Amino acid sequence: MKRRLFLAATAAALAAGGTFIGFSTNSYQDIVKEVIKTRLHYLKISKADLNKFAAAYAQEVAKSRTKVMLIDFSYGCRTTDLCHQMVNDRINYFENYIVTYFLKSSDFFINGMNENKPVKYLSIDLVDPYKSPCYNPFARLI
């Protein structure tokens, strides 16, 4: 393979990957919003707060998305039943992670886990201990 052909193929692959990631960001935000609506249907969450969280979460996850995709593609399934179980486990883990991330970055725990009060999204930085080291929503419960 000639060097020019290799460079052209690499540039085309990077452009296609960048386009894919750009297109998938909106659908990823829609998935995040749908997971929260489905799992937390009993809470009062405004659409504006949901949109803010989905955008911030998609931006936060985009930093490690390529690494996660490579790990997922390199991990193969041996049998069909095992593959279905692995996919279901990953979906459950993904949904639980999103819901936990949303609840920790909102005022749900600050309000004493009151399901009757509207839940407001505060900041995604509250979840990261390196960005907000002193934040502890469970301190009032102790």
The tens digit of pLDDT for each residue in 21-63 reads: 444 445 778 888 998 999 999 999 999 999 999 998 888 876 6
CB atoms within 10 A of CB 34: 14
pTM of the model: 0.66
What pLDDT is stored for residue 61 in this prediction?
77
Number of domains into which the chain is organized: 1
What pLDDT is stored for residue 53 in this prediction?
92
Domain range for residue 50?
Answer: 3-141
What pLDDT is stored for residue 25 in this prediction?
47
Burial class (CB in 10 A: 0-12, 13-18, 19+), 106: buried
State what percent of residues in the chain have pLDDT above 70.
Answer: 61
Q: What is the mean pLDDT of the chain?
A: 75
